[in-house]
Structure 1
Amino acid sequence: MRLVFDYETNGLLDRPDLRILCGAAVDLDTGEEYEANGEADLDAFAHLLARADLLVGHNICGFDIPLVQRFYPWFKVPHIYDTRLALRMRYVGDVRERFYAWRNSAGRSEEKREARFPARLMAPGKQFGLEAWGYVIGEHKGSFLADTGVQEEYTDELGEYCLRDVRVNARLYEWLQRPDRTLRGNRQEDPTHERPPTPEAAVLCESAFALHMRNQEARGVRFDRGSAELLYAKLAARREELGQELRTEHFPAWWAPTNPKGDVDPELPVRRGDASYTVPKRTYRVPHPHPLAGREKGCAFTPIELVEFNPNSGHHIAGRLRKLFGWEPKEHTPTGLPKVDETVLADLPYPPAEALREYMMLTKRLGQLAEGEQAWLKQATADGLIHGRVETVGTRTTRCAHRRPNLAQVPAVGAPFGAECRRLFRPVVPSHVLVGIDAKGLELRMLAHRLGYYDGGAYAERLLDGDPHSDWQEVTGIILRNNQKRLTYGFLYGAGDLKLGHILLDDMRQAADQGKYKGKLPKAAEGVLRSMGRRVRASLQQRVPGLGQFVAACS
């Protein structure tokens, strides 16, 4: 028996007095509908779900299944198919473009486009909701709860709304079993190229994994608040010490024209376009002796102020490095300002560079630990637990997304203060052991699957019986194995030529420090790094069997 089901409650799972108000289900094989409200009906409904071979629902891994397990501890979960996860697996990479295509298919009239697909449903939090996809498949779920809010008691209208949700979801499940068309670059469907549906086995596997992640979130991980506060005090003291050193020894206060734009250095060149530089124009273009005339350097009267160096300001860092050391930035942010981060500072020979790098590292650690919006100390509950959220299929590449807080970015043991950070996390049960796992070579296995059509399974054979990283090292010329892994995964996830060039340069530097590279290090100029990345990309596509053909087929 395959059932599509849904529950309506008086709130979310974190509500202490949570109650189930009603439930509904549809048998996918017979079309029979089931409704339940009241204690006796709901008990029988739970037993009905337990007898199913497959349970289908929208966000059931995040809500409905944990709800059933909470009220009916005896409930044994059968195979589950979460239509929200199925949608994310299929469309997470181009959902917004598809919504544009569906809207535009209604014609040029904005009124008709809104009727076809409301623009409000394109918001990130609504893109994979049942309401949005009800519009796509032509089966609207209605807006009862959106209009009335959370219900405290069962009503016939709520029961009808619950059943309508199930009917829409049953249609959505059937729709997901059909192929669809890929999108062209102009956001129009390509009638010549169909994309097959996601295999049901894959959705069942992803749904089971998502349920495990939901249970992990609910259980949480113990956080050593006392040790965290001591570490915070230690890092904050060191950062304050470094800040004082930077302000007194390296970048003492200076007089500068009063800046009406606040923290922006009026003398700092800003990149415009690709290569040209401009300096800010006159602040006011009015004739003298207007009281606002002549507010820039060189005028008869220039208001000035004493500026104290702010190590958290990229404008101050870039401006002082230019003024005192003649630094010319090679990389820029998308807005055209000089890029100043730990990677850039690592290439600079100036005395303050190392102190600035350490200051940035400490600021990053303190942001994770205590000062950031999602800092560990802020997210830890009164009972000493952190319930980090995991959104399976949460990124465009279908990887997990982590938030509140992001426990996937706890610094590695080998990173500065990484061991101290990792020691803060403990098992919930003291007698248990906290174990970390890392699935082996998932991306490489996916690549082997895709390359099989072109190389006859050669890469898959090396993946299982050999060492594909060593094979690629011979192609790329990378010296250190860990850096080859960085380059491999960067290449697979779409790193540009500049990023690949940075990885190559990092490898040469690290190898030189270890005495494994005796050659001359290339300049860290953007053009040089892009050229290096371009060459290694071409080498991979030419020398790895089938890779060039596969890349060409994807473009």
Structure 2
Amino acid sequence: MTVIHCVNVVDRLTGRRRRFNSGFYADGTPAPRAGTIEEGLVLLMEADCIGGHNVIGYDIPAIQKLYPWFEPKGKVRDSLVEARVIWTNLFDIDTNAIKKNKRPEEFIRDRLTGTHKLSAWGFRLGEYKGDYGPAKEAEARALGLEGDEIRNFVWGRFTPDMDEYCEQDVVVNVVLFDKIDSKGFSPDALELETAVAGIIRLQEKHGFLFDKVAADALLHVLQVRHAQLSDELRKVFLPWYAPKRKLGRHDLIDPARDNKKFGYVAGCKATRVELIVFNPGSRDHIADRMIKLFGWTPVELTETGKPKVDETTLDGLDYPEAKLLVEYLTVDKRIGQLATGKQAWLGHVRRDGRIHGRVNANGAVTGRMTHSSPNIAQVPKVGSLYGEACRALFIVAPGFKLVGCDAEGLELRMLGHYMARFDGGAYANTVANGRKEDGTDVHTVNQRLLGLNKRDNAKTWIYAYLYGAGNLKLGSIVYDDMSEARRAAFNARWAPGDPREKALARLGLKTRRSIEEGLPALGKLQDLIKDKAKRGYIKSLDGRELHVRSAHAALNTLLQGGGAVVMKKALVICFRAFTALGWVHGVDYGFCANVHDEFQIEVREELAQQAGQIAADSIAEAGVAFGLRCPLAGAFDIGDNWAETH
């Protein structure tokens, strides 16, 4: 952006409209105005409160690029931020409205369903924003313009149409703010999200330094291993003949006469076959070979009824061939993440050597952040295959350290908080103060209640339960925990397919009852939350409404939502503490990533220890701020890359 043509303002209290511009349109005709661009910016800067749509993410940074002195002194409201908090179920609202013919054709045509674009809100609220951009682009094409010529024609000249469009943009925004205020939504939630949005904007600008040299070297290693695995798997899974399919059916022939060359006999129907060469990248091929050669019984199916084939479903199988497949699928995925996928890290490195990932601070229905361009949250963990090598690519500049801080056992601590009303804080004490050494830690306690052999499986089970897993999934975890003898007996008793799935579901139900009966407070909490969820939402810590689509997801929504709010509060506390010390974002430190329950912060080396302690303390302080009945705790690590800090 190189120029601001106009600044249009509407006073919500008086309704007064003012336009600020150069005084002339591109063709030389006078443009109505209340003052210059600079005078309009001063008006905004001195106001007690200003607002706009995506002003935190775009308008204010854009203005500051051309007018560095611009710094609003009053409160800033962002209708995009606030709308995202209030209407987290917007896709469902729009879908239902479309079914009732309450959205115009243009709304559907422009693919606005579920979006928070101001144009979408204009349609919803009956205050049409206008189509200046698309209309002008069509006009430019009709004139034979192309590329940058179109952009300059549409946005490079100040015209009366642009001026009117700018004012209508503000009018729609006023109507949206009126709608927001009419909801009487929690001011604490809106203020928290606004503060978080400002910090996340700084994080996006700062980015995460990426080691391209090491990335290229890792890519070579992955590509070589990918080729090796492909060869090994084709030697393991030899070509086979299968019925040839035509239009979704077997290619059946009914010869009228004998054919010695092809072996046809008149009157004898036959099915054409073809030689299939194993493709390790084909889920269908993998499922076919595992079922037919090894008798694999898929437990999970896709929505289309096919066996679910991925690293997770194959990882529990004992066959050496399955281990090869898991490695192949993982390596293939890593290559996509690193270099070949749409979200590939190498494709998002800018000229400054950094990846500037996008973050929607309230992108999930639970209030969690969502990530894109690329999805930093999907960088594999250190314990996974090539995970350490992947995380080691995210580095810091010379003279800086990476500080990684995360909340310890966040969701279980949230569970302890919510259970405390029923058990007086007993489970919260187990979560916060239990010790693995003497068997009083929460996972060992859960292991005993569930009757499982391994503590790690109890940990897997409880998180699956908290994430809303069904009985079949829970039963599958119990199945994986069985001794070989017990598993063999189980398989002998229950035939593959429906009988075995039902038996696994019964196992899951049994352990579900065991934990809820062993922890009566948990059962009571489940009953309470499911009852509250009947109205379509539950309340989170700061008063926001968390929309619930199904009863089984209610507890997970409550815990994830609470955890998200706590981490946002901690982020704001941490940022303000850094600011109070005189530290400047982008100079002394910079947030690189905020993923679920962790912060990654690039900090001057001499400040790293202090920054880590402040970040960890901020998590505990956030719990106190919300009056949690289970204390929160944060821990931090200092290193030179992400692999060393989480």
Instruction: Give the match for residue 209 of structure 1.
Output: 196
Matched, 1:35 2:19: yes
Cα 1:230–1:54 change in 2 (3 A) is: same
Matched, 1:82 2:78: yes
State the one-letter code of the partner of 2:388: A
Deviation (angstroms), 1:519: 9.3
Structure 1: how far apart are the matches of 2:122 and 2:469?
A: 36
Matched, 1:356 2:328: no
Instruction: Give the match for residue 109 of structure 2.
Output: 120
Deviation (angstroms), 1:371: 2.3
Structure 1, unpaired ranges of 5+: 1-16, 180-196, 262-279, 513-517
Report SS of the residue matched to 2:401. coil
Cα 1:300–1:145 change in 2 (3 A) is: closer
Matched, 1:246 2:258: no
State the one-letter code of the partner of 2:20: A
Instruction: Give the match for residue 552 of structure 1.
Output: 531
Structure 2: how far apart are the matches of 1:251 and 1:491?
A: 37
Structure 2, unpaired ranges of 5+: 24-34, 138-153, 435-440, 492-499, 535-646
Deviation (angstroms), 1:135: 2.8
Structure 2: how far apart are the matches of 1:433 and 1:114?
A: 52
Is the 8 Å Cα contact of residues 475 and 539 (structure 1) preserved in structure 2?
Answer: yes
Deviation (angstroms), 1:535: 3.2
Matched, 1:529 2:529: no
TM-score normalized by structure 1? 0.75
Structure 1: how far apart are the matches of 2:263 and 2:284?
A: 23
Larger fraction in helix: 2
Match of 1:344 among 298, 310, 313: 313
Instruction: Give the match for residue 59 of structure 1.
Output: 54
Cα 1:288–1:56 change in 2 (3 A) is: farther
TM-score normalized by structure 2? 0.65
Report SS of the residue matched to 1:177. helix
Instruction: Give the match for residue 430 of structure 1.
Output: 398
Instruction: Give the match for residue 146 of structure 1.
Output: 134
Structure 2: how far apart are the matches of 1:69 and 1:463?
A: 51
Deviation (angstroms), 1:491: 3.6
Cα 1:426–1:254 change in 2 (3 A) is: same
Report SS of the residue matched to 2:225. helix
Report SS of the residue matched to 1:329. coil
State the one-letter code of the partner of 1:283: D
Deviation (angstroms), 1:227: 0.9
Is the 8 Å Cα contact of residues 224 and 424 (structure 1) preserved in structure 2?
Answer: yes
Please list, as runs of the form range in 1=range in 2, the aligned pairs for 1:311-390 lying within 5 A after superposition: 311-390=280-359
Deviation (angstroms), 1:59: 1.6
Instruction: Give the match for residue 271 of structure 1.
Output: none
Q: Deviations over 1:1-55 (max 9, x none)?
A: xxxxxxxxxxxxxxxx532111122233343333211397222222222223333
Is the 8 Å Cα contact of residues 475 and 505 (structure 2) preserved in structure 1?
Answer: yes
State the one-letter code of the partner of 1:346: D
Structure 2: how far apart are the matches of 1:101 and 1:433?
A: 50
Kindly report the root-mean-square deviation, in angstroms, between the aligned alpha carbons of the 2 structures: 3.7
Deviation (angstroms), 1:64: 0.8
Matched, 1:130 2:121: no
State the one-letter code of the partner of 2:66: F
Instruction: Give the match for residue 70 of structure 1.
Output: 65
Report SS of the residue matched to 2:115. coil
State the one-letter code of the partner of 1:437: C
Structure 2: how far apart are the matches of 1:528 and 1:334?
A: 21
Q: Deviations over 1:156-209 (max 9, x none)?
A: 332222222212212211211224xxxxxxxxxxxxxxxxx4312312221222
Count of matched residue pairs? 482
State the one-letter code of the partner of 2:201: R
Is the 8 Å Cα contact of residues 349 and 355 (structure 2) preserved in structure 1?
Answer: yes
Please list, as runs of the form range in 1=range in 2, the aligned pairs for 1:5-44 lying within 5 A after superposition: 17-38=1-22, 41-44=36-39
Match of 1:161 among 149, 162, 165: 165
Please list, as runs of the form range in 1=range in 2, the aligned pairs for 1:91-490 lying within 5 A after superposition: 91-93=87-89, 95-103=90-98, 113-115=102-104, 118-120=107-109, 123-124=112-113, 127-149=115-137, 150-179=154-183, 197-248=184-235, 250-260=236-246, 282-284=250-252, 288=256, 303-427=272-396, 429-439=397-407, 455=422, 458=425, 462=429, 469=442, 475-476=449-450, 486-490=460-464
Instruction: Give the match for residue 184 of structure 1.
Output: none
Structure 1: how far apart are the matches of 2:209 and 2:61?
A: 21
Cα 1:552–1:536 change in 2 (3 A) is: farther
Q: Deviations over 1:253-297 (max 9, x none)?
A: 234444557xxxxxxxxxxxxxxxxxx854347674599x999xx
Deviation (angstroms), 1:478: 6.3
State the one-letter code of the partner of 1:254: W
Cα 1:244–1:483 change in 2 (3 A) is: same
State the one-letter code of the partner of 2:321: P
Q: Deviations over 1:409-445 (max 9, x none)?
A: 1111122211111111112x32222233335666567
Structure 2: how far apart are the matches of 1:401 and 1:146?
A: 29
Cα 1:553–1:478 change in 2 (3 A) is: farther
Deviation (angstroms), 1:456: 9.0
Please list, as runs of the form range in 1=range in 2, the aligned pairs for 1:513-528 lying within 5 A after superposition: 520=486, 525-528=500-503
Structure 1: how far apart are the matches of 2:83 and 2:471?
A: 32
